[in-house]
Structures are given as structure tokens and as C-alpha cells.
Chains A and B, each alone.
Chain A
Amino acid sequence: MSEMSTDLTKSAVGPVEGESLYDTDNPAPYIEPPRKRTGKTPKSTRGNFEMAAWLFMRLSGIVLVVLVIGHLLIQLVLDGGVSKIGFAFVAGRWASPFWQVWDLLMLWLAMLHGANGLRTVINDYAERPNTRLWLKGLLYTATVFTILLGTLVIFTFDPNIR
């Protein structure tokens, strides 16, 4: 270890700028990298959840670009735009399993993507622990309720309700 310790008799700044104070016989002192993981570093208790959430935002985002822009085209642009939307139009589309799966996938991905986005926003701006708890409780309740309600509506839709 002695060759690794700093020579205190030497100035840190050389007489000529750029001249190295160290050579093979007199190597520079070894500095441990900051925040290096050692045996004493406690194990993370959070697992890889944040990493999984980060990846989910990107993967679901790509799928949602296709699903949502397709949805906007059908509902707001093609075939008369918003004017043609009504119960009969919904019944016609949900008669096909393709559009049922489309809407179901869009519902789940968009709600989870949005809920995780709002979770990040709450984490960033709500500072008091109580405020965070209540806002997240409200967010998770609304998210679960909306996903379940939407799923139920798609699966139990009855075109002959009246």
C-alpha cells in the first residue's frame, strides 16, 4: 500500500503545466470510484420495478401510437368524422372481435401508461408524505375502476339492449 499513498512533500501542481508528476516508479495514488458497490453496500429493496416501468412506457408507447392514431382516424376523420358516431356505429364495430381486441388492448395499455405517467408526476411534485399517499391512492383507485369498467363494457356489450 505504501506505493499507493500520496507523497505529501510533492506539490500537486507541477512547475511546468502539463508535466506529469508520476511515472512507473512513482505511480499516481489509487482513488476508489465514488459510490462503488462493496460488501457493505446495502441491497436494494426496490427490485427492478422502476426499470420495468421505464421500459413499459417505451414499449406501450410504440403500440399506443398505432392503436390511438388508428382510433382517431376511424372516429374523427374517416366516413364523416364525429358526426356518424352513435350507438349503432359502436354496435357495428364491436360486432367484430378484431375491434374488440383493439379497443381492449388500447384501454389497458393507455390506462397503465397514463397511470404510471401520473405516478411519476406525483412523485416529482407532491412533497408531503400524506399528500403523496392520498394522491396515489386516488390515482390507483381511479385506474383500477376505469380499467375494470371499460373491460366489462367491451365484454358484455349487448347490441339488442333495447
Chain B
Amino acid sequence: MPAGTLYRGREGMWSWVAHRVTGVLIFFFLFVHVLDTALVRVSPEAYDEVVATYKTPLVALLEYGLVAAILFHALNGLRVIAVDFWSKGPRYQKQMLWSVMAIWFVLMVGALYPVLGHAVREVFGS
């Protein structure tokens, strides 16, 4: 390959890559999540035992990552719909991506305390 010709992508390509990666991650989580919820048919103790691991600080961090993936996939999915169905969508796809990232950032800041607050209290006491 001649030097300097590698396509490094722009907003459109990288949002497409991120949409795929977050989509696959969410699907794998969903599979596990249905399995863990199915434990309510085994016994209350079995279910509560597994859910107890979901309340540990490490898994709380993973939950924050899951929220990040879902929020991006949801907001960017709405952007994809706008690109496909709104006549001016393709022209404003970059602006819409930056709007998606701004809303995503605000929501992620808002999710910090509810999702990670209990983990911080557990790790640092009080």
C-alpha cells in the first residue's frame, strides 16, 4: 500500500464502528442478563446471590460502561434514523453526531452518582 493513502475515517465512519462495537457488547450482555433473571424460577436465594455480585464496586464500573454503550447506541441510532428518513439528514450528519456526543456526555455525568455512588461509598468507606 502506498504511503499516506490509509483511510483513517471521519465522523461518519467512526460513529459506524462505535455503533457496531456497542451493539455487539449490548447483545452479549442481554444474553447473560436473561440467564441471570431466569434464576427467579430456581429460587429467591439463587437470584439474590447472583444479583449481590452486581452490587460490588467492580461490577458497578462495568454497569457504568454498559450505560455508556447503551446511551451511545440509542442516541446514535436516532441519528441514523434521521439520516435515513429526514431529507436534510445526510447534510447535517456531522452536526448531529456532535449533538449526540454532547447529550451522551451530559447523561453520563448525570449517571455518575446514581450508578457509581454506592461503589465509591463502599470502597472509600462512610
Query: Which residue numbers of A lie inside 8 Å of B, CB to CB?
Result: 58, 61-62, 64-65, 68-69, 72, 76-77, 81-83, 85-88, 90, 107, 110-111, 114-115, 117-118, 121, 142, 146, 149-150, 152-153, 156-158, 161-162
Task: Report whether B34 and A76 are in contact in the complex, using a CB–CB cutoff of 8 Å.
Answer: no
Q: Do most interface residues of chain A lie in helix, strand or loop, or is the interface mixed?
A: helix
**Total A-B residue contacts, Cβ distance less than 8 Å:** 103
Identity of the chain B residue whose Cβ is nearest the Cβ of A143 in the assembled complex: B31
CA distance A142 to B30 in the complex (A): 11
Residues of chain A lying within 8 A (CB to CB) of residue B71: 69
Contact code string B2-36 (vs A, CB < 8 Å = 1, else 0)? 00000000000000000010011011001100110
In the A-B complex, the 9 residue pairs with the smallest Cβ-Cβ separation, listed nearest first, are A114-B27, A87-B44, A77-B114, A150-B34, A61-B77, A65-B74, A117-B23, A153-B38, A146-B34
Residues of chain A lying within 8 A (CB to CB) of residue B84: 58
Known contacts A114-B26, A161-B43; A82 and B54 CB within 8 A of each other: yes
Query: Which residue numbers of B lie inside 8 Å of A, CB to CB?
Result: 20, 23-24, 26-27, 30-31, 34-35, 37-38, 40-41, 43-45, 47-48, 51, 54-55, 60, 63, 67, 70-71, 74, 77-78, 80-81, 84-85, 111, 114-115, 117-118
Known contacts A68-B74, A85-B54; A90 and B67 CB within 8 A of each other: no
Q: What's the nearest-Cβ distance from chain B to residue A109, in Å? A: 11
Task: Report whether A76 and B114 are in contact in the complex, using a CB–CB cutoff of 8 Å.
Answer: yes
Residues of chain A lying within 8 A (CB to CB) of residue B23: 114, 117-118, 121
Identity of the chain A residue whose Cβ is nearest the Cβ of B114 in the assembled complex: A77
Residues of chain A lying within 8 A (CB to CB) of residue B63: 76, 82
Identity of the chain A residue whose Cβ is nearest the Cβ of B78 in the assembled complex: A65
CA distance A142 to B31 in the complex (A): 8
Task: Report whether B60 and A82 are in contact in the complex, using a CB–CB cutoff of 8 Å.
Answer: yes
CA distance A153 to B34 in the complex (A): 9
Task: Report whether B115 and A76 are in contact in the complex, using a CB–CB cutoff of 8 Å.
Answer: yes
Q: What's the nearest-Cβ distance from chain A to residue B28, in Å? A: 9
Q: What's the nearest-Cβ distance from chain A to residue B37, in Å? A: 6
Q: List 13 A-B contacts (CB under 8 A).
A: A69-B70, A81-B117, A82-B55, A86-B47, A86-B51, A111-B30, A115-B27, A117-B27, A118-B27, A150-B38, A152-B41, A153-B41, A161-B43
Task: Report whether A72 and B67 are in contact in the complex, using a CB–CB cutoff of 8 Å.
Answer: yes
Residues of chain A lying within 8 A (CB to CB) of residue B43: 161-162
